Amino acid sequence: MKKKTLFIILAVLAVILAAVFAVKAVERAKQRRIAEARFNVAGDIVRVEYKDLMSGAVAVTDRQEDIKVLLECIELARLNYRTADHQLAAMADSPSITYKYADGSRKQYDYIVKPNEKYPQPFKAFCEIPYIAGQLAAKDD
């Protein structure tokens, strides 16, 4: 009888422990999905407002070629986020980007760029576009 009781107690504890691990795994997956949402921008984007969080400089564009470059940079930012050491402080080129869609809706996301050897400056190509660089430099004047 004692072996049977001990077995039942251990089985119940194993089920409880498995349930706790399952709940934690679901919570981590949900948090990852929320964190990844900012990288999943798609649709008919007609205007972008890029704001550098450190300097406050702002660049606005509705030029599709600029938006295309920015979307490529967003993919690099995703890779930066996935491979970075999140214990390190954010880098200076961490922007807040507002997307305006053809239907009039807007989405705004902050992108925190971390030091990363593989993907060091994901937004560099966008910021170096002369039209964008001119707007970002105007803040300093």
- pTM to 2 decimals? 0.74
Residues 66 and 85 sit within 8 Å (Cβ to Cβ): no
* Residue among 51, 45, 40, 52 nearest 77 (CA): 40
CB atoms within 10 A of CB 133: 13
Residues 25 and 33 sit within 8 Å (Cβ to Cβ): no
Render pLDDT for 72-125 as a digit per residue (tens, 0 to 9): 999 999 998 888 776 766 665 689 999 999 999 999 999 988 888 888 889 999
Q: How many whole angstroms separate alpha carbon 139 and alpha carbon 135?
A: 7
Which pLDDT score is estimated for 1?
62
- Tokens 């600029």 belong to 66
* Residue among 119, 126, 134, 129 nearest 97 (CA): 126
> Which two structure tokens, joined as six digits, stand for 81?
């986020």
Q: Is the pLDDT score of 141 beyond 60?
A: no
Which pLDDT score is estimated for 73?
95
SS3 75: helix
Which pLDDT score is estimated for 97?
95
Handedness of CA 93, 96, 101, 104 (dihedral sign): negative
2 versus 95: which is more confidently predicted?
A: 95
Render pLDDT for 28-85 as a digit per residue (tens, 0 to 9): 878 777 777 888 888 899 999 999 888 889 999 999 999 999 999 999 999 988 887 7
Render pLDDT for 5-29 as a digit per residue (tens, 0 to 9): 888 889 999 999 999 988 888 888 7
- Tokens 């406050």 belong to 56
